[in-house]
Structure 1
Amino acid sequence: MDRLIYTAMTAMNAAMDRQRVVANNLANASTPGFRQEIFAVTPATLKDGSLEARAMARGNVRGADMTAARVVPTGNPLDVALEGEALLAYQAPNLQGEIYSRRGDLRVAASGVIENGEGLAVLGESGAPITVPPGFSIAIATDGTIMASDPAAPTAPPEAIDRLRMVTPGGSPLAKGIDSFLKVPGGGVLPPDPTARLTTGALEQSNVETAETLVQMIDAQRAFEQRAKIIRTAGDLDEASSSLMALR
């Protein structure tokens, strides 16, 4: 009986993990450029020479759904929407390595560093954060070039100070961790995409479908309740077996 309970318990854990993933997707339904997480449950069958009648459930995030989402004009010249499959490179929160996203709500921080709405520093072609000279205004070209203008010299042409590091995920492994960031497993980096283009004054929305995600959440909850019912049934069977043994 303990085998049945343990098997059902692993399925309950997988169902709980699925609920967390679905809840995270739903919470980011309005986050620009968000890519919904794909959850997968893998059965792990115990092989000991006997009948393979038990399978433990292991659930984890398999990756991200890279399906493109709709692009909405915003009128903000620093908002960018990437075309094709290109990704923007950002500095990791722990300052180690780089992470990737389609989120393009850019702004200039008080320190002069260009960052997105989440506060992540945007990387330039050299792999370092892009810094705007104090007091300069910037514009972003369709190829990602950052053009800076000095208000003190209105007749001077804008100067290119850097270019957004836009990379291609094609042919490279890409994983999505529990922190929701896209990254290369093992700390690697994606190659730059010199042909990448973007649209300014617009943002790509999240590719999470709210109605579909709500259905997934209900399904995950029902799966959890079904496993809990199996455990309760196992307990009832165990009590019935004990009662029969007591009659002897």
Structure 2
Amino acid sequence: MDRLIYSALSGMRSSMEKQRVLASNMANAETIGFRAELMDARAVTVESRNGSLETRAMQSSAVRGADMSQGEMTLTGRSLDIAIDGEALIAVQAEDGSEAYTRRGDLTLTGAGLLVNGEGRPILGEQGPITVPPGGVMAIAPDGVVTVTNPATPEAPPAEIARIKLANPVGSQVTKGLDNLFRVEGGGVLPADLSATVKTGYLEQSNVKLTEVLVELVDQQRLFDMRTKLVATAKELDESGASLMRLS
């Protein structure tokens, strides 16, 4: 009897975790560059005392990846908005100072001239966070090169100050954190992709498909209800068996 309850509780916990992931995806359906989270479920077995039989198997569910398919690109016409063509990622500085990666390209300049994205993450170049001199007119080339033109001398050629690091994730194990940033699993940094290009004046939208998320939410709620009924059924069967033992 306990095996039935064990399996049902495992399924209930898996359904709850799945609903949490789906709710997070739905909440970020309008977030620039968001990648839908994917949940991975693995069996965790419980062996008998002598180690010969696997008597129970629970599910261990966790977010271990993301859907990396490209989202829709929308034209904004804003000179600091960029969207990446292909699979490259924009290198940013995380809160702990480490290098992390994102697809969010709604860039702005702080009062100190620091180039950040919409989440306030500093954009990284080859020499660290990119800082633009005050008073200059900034532009971003398709290869990620950041240039500045001095309004006082408009006839002078633009000065190159940095190049946005566009990292290549192909062949590397990257994981998505709770801060929506990607990192190399086990530590380390991704190599720069010198062939990657950006489209200025565009933003990549979230790749969450709301219709699919809603259908999955309904399915998971139904599964949770079915598994709850299994626990109730197990309780009834246990009480029936106990009453029979009392009669005997």
Same fold (TM over 0.5): yes
Aligned position for 1:210: 210
What does 1:53-72 align with in structure 2 at a 5 Å threshold? 54-72=56-74
SS at match of 2:35: coil
What does 1:5-20 align with in structure 2 at a 5 Å threshold? 5-20=5-20
More strand by share: 2
What does 1:5-84 align with in structure 2 at a 5 Å threshold? 5-48=5-48, 54-84=56-86
The runs of at least 4 aligned residues of structure 1 exceeding 4 Å deviation read 49-53
Q: Structure 2: which amino acid aligns with 1:193?
A: D
Q: Structure 1: which amino acid aligns with 2:181?
A: F
Q: Structure 1: which amino acid aligns with 2:121?
A: L
Q: Structure 1: which amino acid aligns with 2:107?
A: L
CA contact (8 A) 2:82 2:106 kept: yes
TM-score w.r.t. the length of structure 2 is 0.93
Q: Structure 2: which amino acid aligns with 1:32?
A: I
> d(CA) in 1 for partners of 2:190 and 2:145?
19
**Mapped pair 1:94 → 2:96:** yes
Shift of 1:63: 0.7
What does 1:1-248 align with in structure 2 at a 5 Å threshold? 1-48=1-48, 54-95=56-97, 97-126=98-127, 128-248=128-248
TM-score w.r.t. the length of structure 1 is 0.93
Shift of 1:115: 0.7
CA contact (8 A) 1:11 1:58 kept: no
Residues 100-130 of structure 1: per-residue CA shift (max 9 Å, x gap)? 111111111122111111111110112x110
CA contact (8 A) 2:6 2:56 kept: no
Greater Cα shift, 173-182 or 198-207 = 173-182
Q: What root-mean-square deviation, in Å, do the aligned CA atoms of Structure 1 and Structure 2 show? A: 1.7
> d(CA) in 1 for partners of 2:145 and 2:187?
26
Residues 50-108 of structure 1: per-residue CA shift (max 9 Å, x gap)? 6656421111113111111221111111100101111100101222x111111111111
SS at match of 1:219: helix
Structure 1: where are the runs of 5+ without partners?
none
SS at match of 1:60: strand
> d(CA) in 1 for partners of 2:241 and 2:179?
47
